[in-house]
Amino acid sequence: MRILVLGGDGYLGWPTALHLSARNHDVGVVDNFARRLYDCEMGVDSLVPIRQLQRRVTTWKEVSGHTVQPFIGDLTDEVFVEETIREFAPEAIVHFAEQRSAPYSMIDRKHAVYTQVNNVVGTLNLLYAIAEIDPSIHLVKLGTMGEYGTPNIDIEEGFIEITHKGRTDILPYPKQPGSFYHLSKVHDSHNIHFACRIWGLRSTDLNQGIVYGQETPETMLHRDLRTRFDYDGVFGTVLNRFAVQAAVGYPLTVYGKGGQTRGMLDIRDTLACVELACVNPPEPGEYRVFNQFTESFSVIDLAEWTAKIAGGDVTIDNVPDPRVEKEEHYYNAVATQLPALGLKPHFLEDATIEVLIETAKQHKDRVEFDAIRPTVNWRSTKSQVSVAKGAAGD
């Protein structure tokens, strides 16, 4: 297939592009390098050094013989979006190109507005371009399990059957997003669903859990192909943060009681899920939702597991929860459609956490301690975000 990966320079976008290319799909990548600019703004770099996109593309061709075609531009520029789709003529578009951090969206008004404009407007431009150029293009959009929140009932896969006053219907599952970032994803979902209904587009919304890991078979072929490893309090995901904290002897920062439970998956499963969605497209006019995770863990369980594997004097620090969320809650989410398509998941185990900790130890000289603790307070309209000093260069 011809597959265009939006956000193809990012943590998941880059290894996804390599994964698809290695399987003989014709791949293009789109990026505006906004994620690298966030590093400059926050004053903290990827723990694992990453190369510029042009060098990555060149190295990939040298080591694999496959070509990935880069397009540099912004999805909020409708002319760029249309020109790129016309030139590359994709059969499927994988959409990672959004500001992905909940804490970043909660820093202040400016960051909340930027997140929503960037994410929602970019996706709207994309929907219009697909409708006007080629409605048969399959949009595979990265959503998030965070759209659902933590309801006191089972989380179904996108839709729920409801009986009310004697009448029954199947409706989109109620959303309880926990940040302006998650709200932008909900807006995306509604816009995409609407576009499928009125224009006959077809789309798969991948409501993804928290991703852990940094290595894939393709990124391990050469150091120029590595993807980023975020550990800071704004962009670092929970297990990556714990691995780095354990590696440098910093207390593992658990928010509140740590009973927050989330669906999670290995980075290699993200790539597999995206390809499964691409090669098994929905019908024209169909909007479908896949819950994309393999296991669920509480934050405190992850912290205790990491501390046990790290050994030594690793401690756990229960810090005040900067977010407005339930610290203990019911969580049972359904995820059946991707396994039905053939997903063979990787499960979190001791060896996985050991690899994360070892990776962190190899690059511990790049750790900026000022960036580790949470600095964004959901209860404030203006957070004082700590900016690390002397962050290592790319």
> What are the residue numbers of the active site?
144, 181, 185
Q: Residue 119 carries which DSSP code? A: I
Q: Which residue has the tokens 């995409």?
A: 192
User: Is the separation of the CB atoms in 142 and 271 below 8 Å?
Assistant: no
Beta strand 167-172 with 159-164 is antiparallel
Let me know if 56 is exposed, middle or buried by CB neighbors in 10 A (0-12, 13-18, 19+): buried
Alpha helix segments (H runs only) across 71-200:
78-88, 102-105, 109-116, 122-133, 180-199
Q: DSSP class of residue 306?
A: H
Listing DSSP states for 23-69 in one string gives TT-EEEEEE--HHHHHHHHHT---SS----HHHHHHHHHHHHS--EE
Q: Are 26 and 3 in contact (CB under 8 A)?
A: yes
CA angle (294, 297, 300) in 5-degree steps? 160
